[in-house]
């Protein structure tokens, strides 16, 4: 399988790299300090087609393949993990779930608005009492009342929770845990009984918006149900399989940032009369960061290429996310070490990279859950060699 980018993917990479350097890099530290969602960048992202990546062209999107999506997320994450998380969740979770389980009318109704950035998407699975065991611990319920559904429950850690307009909500509809969950679209502006709960102050990803979302007798018509009743969790698992490649790509972008900033500083900083890069101890850190970056990139590209070939990737997506996220956190740690005291203060971006990278080991399935998924696949099927 060829993991090299094709011509259109390379053009996209160059365009997004230029955009990120010009429009994102100069502001990322400030947005992080202010812990403010940068709404002003949304029309620019939409103009580049970065908010309609999961939507087919027929529904106003750019219908990008997984490799292209991965390239976009890596390029944005190179400078700003928070903005990359916004793009990843808007496209890869909310819009992707509608594109995957929605019927034609639903896709025409919501996807063009999401692609134009007129509405931001949020995906509501996690709850205060359930994350890894999302189905088993789900308390949010939707009950049929005539032609409507009434949703009650609280969702936790929701990206775009307060700035989002279109929520995809997973709720229990049947007695069976995994096979009793249904997905619904709740439009914040027009549905009663939905409100934003607590704003969550975070270690990193600070300019990404994360809140609780509360549903209290929230009434939605049956037209807002995505896919068959009780089949929502199966849709969510498919969404997460691709979503994990997005988070791995996000880790890859942060990792590259750590490497580039570490390299630059090592060449400039002088100690004992010579640049610190001339010390083998520093060279080994650079070597390890570069080697693990390349290894992560191969895993991410392989998982994306297999998705683009129409293959299932439970093992490949989990392995890419597990390796790339842990390698990114380690690379950020090394970048801070190379910076010495300057790595520990906020004047340099590497401390932000470390705080942002850590989320990649947690969101869309923790490292422990990725290991469970990988072990299950390997014990069942063995290695694909």
In the list 181, 369, 373, 374, the residue contacting ligand FAD (rule: CB under 6 A) is 369
From residue 58, how far is each of 52, 108, 132, 198, 306 by CA, in Å? 11, 9, 35, 37, 24
In the list 364, 373, 374, 377, the residue contacting ligand FAD (rule: CB under 6 A) is 364
Q: Tell me whether strands 210-221 and 194-199 are parallel, antiparallel or unpaired.
A: antiparallel
In the list 63, 112, 131, 193, the residue contacting ligand FAD (rule: CB under 6 A) is 131
Residue 141 Cβ vs ligand FAD, minimum distance, rounded to whole Å: 16
In the list 89, 95, 224, 329, the residue contacting ligand FAD (rule: CB under 6 A) is 89
149: closest CA among 201, 46, 220, 88? Answer: 220
Q: Please state, in angstroms and rounded to a whole number, the distance separating the CA atoms of residues 168 and 368.
A: 26
Angle in degrees, CA 214, 218, 221, rounded to 5: 140
Residue 206 Cβ vs ligand FAD, minimum distance, rounded to whole Å: 10
Q: Is 48 an interacting residue with respect to ligand FAD (CB under 6 A)?
A: no
Q: Is 204 helix (H, G, I), strand (E, B) or coil?
A: coil
For residue 341, count other CB atoms closer than 10 A to its CB.
7
Q: Is 178 an interacting residue with respect to ligand FAD (CB under 6 A)?
A: no
In this complex, which beta carbon is closest to ligand FAD, that of residue 48 or of residue 362?
A: 362
User: Exposed (0-12), middle (13-18) or buried (19+): which is 125, by Cβ within 10 Å?
Assistant: buried
Residue 132 Cβ vs ligand FAD, minimum distance, rounded to whole Å: 3
In this complex, which beta carbon is closest to ligand FAD, that of residue 60 or of residue 365?
A: 365
In the list 359, 360, 373, 374, the residue contacting ligand FAD (rule: CB under 6 A) is 359
In this complex, which beta carbon is closest to ligand FAD, that of residue 67 or of residue 182?
A: 182
In this complex, which beta carbon is closest to ligand FAD, that of residue 223 or of residue 368?
A: 368
Q: Is 226 helix (H, G, I), strand (E, B) or coil?
A: strand
CA of residue 213 relative to chain centroid, distance: 18
In this complex, which beta carbon is closest to ligand FAD, that of residue 40 or of residue 368?
A: 368
Q: Which phi-psi region, left, alpha or beta, contains residue 168 (left: φ > 0; alpha: ψ -120 to 50)?
A: beta
Contact 55, 99 (CB under 8 A): yes
The structure tokens listed for 282 are 């520093």
In this complex, which beta carbon is closest to ligand FAD, that of residue 68 or of residue 160?
A: 160
In the list 12, 124, 266, 322, the residue contacting ligand FAD (rule: CB under 6 A) is 124
Q: Tell me whether strands 121-124 and 166-172 are parallel, antiparallel or unpaired.
A: parallel
Q: Is 211 an interacting residue with respect to ligand FAD (CB under 6 A)?
A: no
In the list 70, 82, 182, 210, the residue contacting ligand FAD (rule: CB under 6 A) is 210
Q: Is 205 an interacting residue with respect to ligand FAD (CB under 6 A)?
A: yes
Candidates 9-17, 294-302, 320-328, 367-375; binding stretch for ligand FAD (CB under 6 A): 367-375
Q: Is 271 helix (H, G, I), strand (E, B) or coil?
A: strand
Residue 181 Cβ vs ligand FAD, minimum distance, rounded to whole Å: 13
> What string of H, E and C letters represents the secondary structure of 129-195?
CECCCCCCCCCCEEEEECCEEEEEEEEEEEECCCCCCEEEEEEECCCCCCCCEEEEEEECCCCCCEE
Subset of residues 135 to 174 that bind ligand FAD, contact rule: CB under 6 A: 157-159
In the list 363, 370, 373, 374, the residue contacting ligand FAD (rule: CB under 6 A) is 363
The structure tokens listed for 154 are 């609280």
Residue 236 Cβ vs ligand FAD, minimum distance, rounded to whole Å: 9
Residue 233 Cβ vs ligand FAD, minimum distance, rounded to whole Å: 12
Residue 24 Cβ vs ligand FAD, minimum distance, rounded to whole Å: 19
For residue 376, count other CB atoms closer than 10 A to its CB.
13
In this complex, which beta carbon is closest to ligand FAD, that of residue 97 or of residue 302?
A: 97
Contact 93, 123 (CB under 8 A): yes
In the list 20, 41, 111, 125, the residue contacting ligand FAD (rule: CB under 6 A) is 125
Q: Tell me whether strands 181-187 and 225-226 are parallel, antiparallel or unpaired.
A: antiparallel
Catalytic residues: 364
In the list 81, 92, 180, 365, the residue contacting ligand FAD (rule: CB under 6 A) is 365
Q: Is 368 an interacting residue with respect to ligand FAD (CB under 6 A)?
A: yes
Binding-site ranges for ligand FAD (CB under 6 A): 89, 123-126, 131-132, 157-159, 202, 205, 210, 359, 362-366, 368-369, 372
């Amino acid at each position: 399988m060829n993991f090299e980018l094709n011509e259109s993917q390379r053009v996209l990479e160059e365009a997004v790299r230029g955009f990120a350097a010009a429009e994102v890099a100069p502001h990322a530290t400030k947005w992080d300090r202010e812990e403010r969602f940068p709404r002003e960048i949304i029309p620019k992202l939409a103009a580049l087609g970065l908010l309609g990546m999961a939507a087919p062209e027929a529904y106003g999107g750019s219908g990008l393949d997984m490799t292209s999506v991965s390239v976009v997320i890596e390029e944005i994450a190179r400078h700003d993990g928070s903005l990359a998380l916004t793009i990843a969740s808007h496209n890869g979770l909310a819009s992707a779930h509608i594109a995957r389980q929605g019927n034609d009318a639903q896709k025409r109704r919501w996807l063009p608005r999401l692609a134009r950035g007129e509405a931001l998407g949020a995906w509501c699975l996690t709850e205060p009492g359930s994350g890894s065991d999302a189905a088993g611990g789900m308390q949010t319920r939707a009950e049929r009342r005539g032609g409507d559904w009434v949703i009650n429950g609280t969702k936790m850690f929701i990206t775009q929770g307060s700035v989002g307009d279109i929520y995809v909500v997973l709720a229990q509809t049947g007695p069976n845990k995994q096979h009793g969950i249904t997905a619904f679209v709740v439009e914040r502006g027009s549905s009663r009984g939905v409100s934003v709960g607590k704003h969550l102050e975070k270690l990193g990803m600070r300019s990404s918006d994360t809140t609780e979302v509360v549903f209290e007798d929230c009434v939605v018509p049956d037209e807002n149900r995505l896919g068959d009743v009780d089949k929502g969790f199966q849709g969510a698992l498919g969404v997460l399989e691709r979503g994990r490649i997005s988070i791995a790509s996000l880790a890859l972008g942060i990792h590259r940032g750590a490497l580039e900033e570490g390299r630059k500083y090592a060449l400039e900083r002088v100690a004992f009369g010579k640049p610190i890069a001339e010390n083998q101890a520093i060279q080994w850190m650079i070597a390890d960061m570069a080697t693990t970056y390349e290894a992560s990139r191969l895993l991410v590209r392989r998982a994306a290429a297999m998705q683009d070939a129409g293959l299932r990737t439970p093992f490949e997506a989990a392995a890419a996310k597990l390796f790339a996220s842990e390698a990114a956190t380690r690379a950020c740690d090394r970048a801070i070490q190379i910076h010495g005291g300057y790595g520990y203060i906020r004047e340099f971006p590497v401390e932000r990279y470390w705080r942002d990278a850590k989320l990649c080991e947690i969101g869309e399935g923790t490292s422990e859950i990725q290991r469970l998924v990988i072990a299950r696949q390997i014990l069942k099927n063995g290695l694909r060699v």
